Amino acid sequence: MPDSSGSTGRTPETDVIDFRAAEQLLAARDPRGAVKLLDPVIAAHPENTAARLLRARAFFAAAQLRSAELEFGVVLEREPDNAFAHFALARTYERAGRPEQALRHFRLAAALDPRPQYVQAARFDT
């Protein structure tokens, strides 16, 4: 909440602490808690791609697929060569029952980074 000067009381240190705590919450399977911590971080630093990627992962884990799709999209606008973001967006589309869009992003992920899980999901042999 802003104080009388209009400041929210957030500092760069607070944002780092909240980011790290959000990582821990996501690892502990509390994606909604992670999103709550990340919202003010992203409001203060909308350009922070790492925070957006973490929030996208949290949305996915919370089955908030539309929010995950939008957030992964923001990440990919900024980092079109982010193989993980393509892979995660593909998983989001897959979970939402949109296989054609999923396959496109699985293939982009595999082309950018030939990790076995990306290549397998890309189904180049079909």
Say if 17 falls within a structural domain: yes
Asked whether residue 59 falls in the same domain as residue 95, the answer is: no
Domain range holding 25? 1-64
My answer on whether 97 and 45 are in the same domain is no
Predicted pLDDT of residue 7: 45
Whether pTM exceeds 0.75: yes
* DSSP H helices in 6-123: 12-27, 31-44, 49-61, 65-78, 83-95, 99-112, 116-122
Residue 69, in any domain of the structure: no
d(CA 75, CA 59): 14
The last residue of a domain, from among 23, 39, 64: 64
| Cα separations in angstroms, 57 against 25, 40, 83 | 12, 17, 14
Residue 43 amino acid letter? A
Per-residue confidence in pLDDT tens, the chain, 126 aa: 333 333 457 898 999 999 999 999 999 999 999 999 999 999 999 999 999 999 999 999 999 999 999 999 999 999 999 999 999 999 999 999 999 999 999 999 999 999 999 999 999 986
Residues 45 and 91 in one domain: no
**How confident is the model at residue 10, as a pLDDT?**
85
Cβ atoms within 10 A of the Cβ of 67, count? 17
In terms of domains, do 58 and 88 share one?
Answer: no
Tokens of residue 52, six digits? 């957006």
State whether 97 and 53 are in the same domain: no
